Amino acid sequence: MKLPITTTLLSVLLLFALQISVMAQDKNIETISLSLQQAQEYAIQHNSGMKNAQLDIEIAKKKIWETKAIGLPQVSAAGTYTHLFNVPVVNFGGTVIADHREKGTVAAVPTGVPGDSIFQNPYLALIKLGVPDNATFNLNVSQLIFSGEYIVGLQATKVFLQISQNSLQSTTADLKESVANTYYMVLLMERNKEILNQSLVNITKTLGDMKAMNQQGFIENTDVDQIELTVHTLENGIRTIENQVSASYDLLKFQLGIPYEKSLILTDNLDNVINDSDITLIVAKQFHVQNHISYKIMENQEEAGMLNLKRQKSAYLPTLAAFYKHTENAKKSEFDFTMKDMAGLSLNVPIFSSGQRNVMVQQRIMELEKIRNTKDNVAQGLELDYINSRNSFTSAYDQFVSEKRNIELTSRIYDKTLIKYKEGLSSSMDVTNAQNQYLNSQKNYFTALYTLLVSKNKLEKLLNN
Q: How far apart are CA 191 and CA 197, in angstroms?
A: 10
Helix (H) or strand (E) holding 11: helix 5-28
For residues 190 and 103, the answer to whether their CB atoms sit within 8 Å is no
Binning the chain into helix, strand and coil, the percentages to the nearest 5 are 70, 15, 20
Residue 90 belongs to some domain of the structure: no
Domain that includes residue 390, residue range: 33-79+146-464
Residue 9 belongs to some domain of the structure: no
The DSSP annotation for 216-236 comes to TTSS-HHHHHHHHHHHHHHHH
Q: How far apart are CA 362 and CA 342, in angstroms?
A: 42
Bridge partners (DSSP) of residue 82 are 134
Read off the CATH number of the domain in which 317 is found. Answer: 1.20.1600.10
pLDDT 10s digits, 3-29: 444 444 444 434 444 454 444 444 456
**Gyration radius from the chain CA atoms:** 44
**DSSP 8-class letter at 43:** H
How many domains, the chain?
1
Q: In the 3-class helix/strand/coil scheme, how is 157-211 assigned residue by residue?
A: HHHHHHHHHHHHHHHHHHHHHHHHHHHHHHHHHHHHHHHHHHHHHHHHHHHHHHH
pTM: 0.75
| pLDDT reported for residue 94 | 53
Residue 402 belongs to some domain of the structure: yes
Task: For residue 252, give the nearest of 325, 164, 195, 185 by alpha carbon.
Answer: 185
Task: For residue 450, give the nearest of 180, 106, 184, 220 by alpha carbon.
Answer: 184
**What residues contact residue 456 under an 8 Å CB cut-off, 6+ apart?**
277, 282, 393
| pLDDT reported for residue 205 | 87
Q: How far apart are CA 331 and CA 133, in angstroms?
A: 8
Residue 140 belongs to some domain of the structure: no
**What residues contact residue 134 under an 8 Å CB cut-off, 6+ apart?**
81, 82, 329, 330, 331
| pLDDT reported for residue 75 | 93
| pLDDT reported for residue 180 | 93
| pLDDT reported for residue 424 | 76
Question: Cα dist. 103→97, 98, 106, 121 in Å?
Answer: 10, 9, 9, 19
Question: Cα dist. 409→193, 230, 318, 396, 434 in Å?
Answer: 21, 20, 83, 20, 11
Cα angle: 458, vertex 196, 228; to 5 degrees = 145
| pLDDT reported for residue 448 | 93
Task: For residue 292, give the nearest of 202, 424, 389 by alpha carbon.
Answer: 389
Residue 165 belongs to some domain of the structure: yes
| pLDDT reported for residue 341 | 87
Residue 62 belongs to some domain of the structure: yes
Residue 87 belongs to some domain of the structure: no
**What residues contact residue 220 under an 8 Å CB cut-off, 6+ apart?**
214
Q: How far apart are CA 411 and CA 262, in angstroms?
A: 38
| pLDDT < 70: residue spans in the chain | 1-29, 92-126, 276-277, 334-337, 465
For residues 386 and 290, the answer to whether their CB atoms sit within 8 Å is no
Q: How far apart are CA 60 and CA 68, in angstroms?
A: 12
| pLDDT reported for residue 88 | 79
Residue 451 belongs to some domain of the structure: yes
Task: Produce one character per residue of 374-393: b if its CB has 16 or more CB atoms within 10 Å, e if not.
Answer: ebeebbeebeebbeebbebb
Q: How far apart are CA 91 and CA 112, in angstroms?
A: 13
| pLDDT reported for residue 125 | 58
